[in-house]
Amino acid sequence: MTSSSGVGLIVRADAPGATIERNVHGQFVEHLGSGVYGGIWVGEDSAIPNTHGIRADVVEALRRLHVPVIRWPGGCFADRYHWRDGVGRRAARPRRVNASWGGVIETNAFGSHEFMEFAELIGAAPYVNGNVGSGSPQEMAEWVEYLTSDADSELADLRRRNGRHMPWAVPYLGFGNEPWGCGGSMRAAAYADEFRRFATFVGTGHGSTICRIAAGADGEDPGWTETLMADAGPQLDALTVHHYTMPTGSSKRKGAATGFGEAEWISTMSRCLRIDEVIRNHAAILDRFDPAKRVALIVDEWGTWYDPDPGTDPAALRQQNGIRDALVAAVTLNVLHGHADRVRMANIAQLVNVLQAMILTDGDRIVLTPTYHVFEMYRPFQGATSVPVELEAPGYALGDRTVPSLHASAAIDGRGRRILGVVNLLPFTTAEVSARIAGARVTRATGRVLTADEMDAVNDVERPDAVSPLPLGTALRMRPGGVDLELPPKSVAVVQIE
Ligand code: AHR
């Protein structure tokens, strides 16, 4: 049985803010579990339809998301990856142990050429994450030359001989990953020195501009950002922060993807919402060192992280994905939109089959997750102008936790349409939302909603469309200066208002 609660919100269309960079809707893929092998790469001889080994169904689904940017090859894997292993004749590539993720054999069948082709096929800009932890400045510099140089040099020639005549653009280059942990167990000052050393040799001289991305903090460590900005601020263009949502807050027993109760529902929402404070803390440090906002903050790993699905390899980080994940995705995108002035890229972890995935594959079948649907519904925010939302929502409390019952972000797109993304966090209560659009007349409003009956409803191969967006229909009503919305329990809606 559901009850209802009334909420008023104002879309401050009269107070436009920063542009929501398209890259804030970015993705991340790592050599981990079946994130690459099986998820993206099936090989040219596979019975699964493919383009040069890259599965066609996954590409087709991702093209609909308008993925702006994709980070590869890790994650922890990046600091053990040696790019030469992944170029040249596939049959001759070395087989290595993937020591980051379960010691499985890495065939290197998916390397630089395959990744760049994949990025091109889905229409995304490549964000290549280099190896600082176990690599050298020379190795990283040579990788960049191999990928981006048009010179008459040995490395550019090698690329040509390997089948790619034109250089690629690599607009984003990461310098290691989580250097405080799997990327080398470094202290902040030591990494700052490493970054300076690598940046001296890497990413210049081949005619294209590369955004140099320093590996940042665990979200809860602003001290890392402080040291990095003090010691290497002028050398870097962006620095990163990671924030994962684990329902129990413990990385040992994180909580299950399905079969949980309301206490884990609200703790998931609460831990996801913490990303707002994490960004605020790091942005405040950046504001001190860089008031002109030259340096971007990039949230290059975020999302839910549960215990692995029963019966799966724990190192593969495979987890089901449900309506709860959809809400986490929408709340996080709302938060990111609100920080558009500083956060210029974010990459959800991870694209296929790993953690909070867009797509789960099962042999030759694919399932689009509820998280996928949120990214598709939120597409109109890409490149739009962020506007503030004033929201007076009652709190949703359970036990010792309280979170807002409603969460929203808004923007104005290039055609002047107002876009409102709104989430009802209450699992059993309908929200009656009365939205006023400041400074605008309302002549037309359309929208869709994503919801489900159960808190742990998922899509799977038996019921791939169980959680899918539907038109808001009569739940969306226009009135002078605004719209009224009836939002079912545990739902995400996106409304376009003209
Ligand atoms: O996304 C999985 C892992 O989480 C990444 O490899 C690492 O950067 C983070 O700890």
> What pLDDT is recorded for position 464?
97
Q: Are 15 and 411 in contact (CB under 8 A)?
A: no
Q: Which of 21, 106, 114, 301 is catalytic?
A: 301
Residue nearest to atom 6 of ligand 1 (CA): 75
Q: pLDDT by residue for the chain (498 residues), tens digit each?
A: 456 677 899 999 999 999 999 999 999 999 999 999 999 999 999 999 999 999 999 999 999 999 999 999 999 999 999 999 999 999 999 999 999 999 999 999 999 999 999 999 999 999 999 999 999 999 999 999 999 999 999 999 999 999 999 999 999 999 999 999 999 999 999 999 999 999 999 976 677 789 999 999 887 889 999 999 999 999 999 999 999 999 998 888 999 999 999 999 999 999 999 999 999 999 999 999 999 999 999 999 999 999 999 999 999 999 999 999 999 999 999 999 999 999 999 999 999 999 999 999 999 999 999 999 999 999 999 999 999 999 988 999 999 999 999 999 999 999 999 999 999 999 999 999 999 999 878 999 999 999 999 999 999 999 999 999 999 999 999 999 999 999 999 999 999 999
Q: Which of 31, 32, 76 best tests ligand 1's pocket when mutated (most atoms within 8 Å of CB)? A: 76
> What pLDDT is recorded for position 357?
98
Taking the CA of residue 78 as reference, the ligand 1 atom at the shortest distance is 6
Rounded-to-integer distance, Cα 275 and Cα 252, Å? 21
Is 264 labeled as catalytic in the residue annotation?
no
Taking the CA of residue 74 as reference, the ligand 1 atom at the shortest distance is 6
User: How far, in Å, is the centroid of ligand 1 from the Cα of 144?
Assistant: 23
Residue nearest to atom 9 of ligand 1 (CA): 75
> What pLDDT is recorded for position 1?
46
Is 60 labeled as catalytic in the residue annotation?
no
User: How far, in Å, is the centroid of ligand 1 from the Cα of 262?
Assistant: 27
User: How far, in Å, is the centroid of ligand 1 from the Cα of 76?
Assistant: 6
In this structure, which amino acid lies at residue 267? S
Domains of the chain from N-terminus onward: 7-12+387-497 (2.60.40.1180), 22-383 (3.20.20.80)
Taking the CA of residue 100 as reference, the ligand 1 atom at the shortest distance is 6
> What pLDDT is recorded for position 221?
87
Q: Is there an atom of ligand 1 within 6 Å of 301 CB? A: yes
> What pLDDT is recorded for position 204?
67
Residue nearest to atom 4 of ligand 1 (CA): 75
Whether pTM > 0.85 for this model: the answer is yes
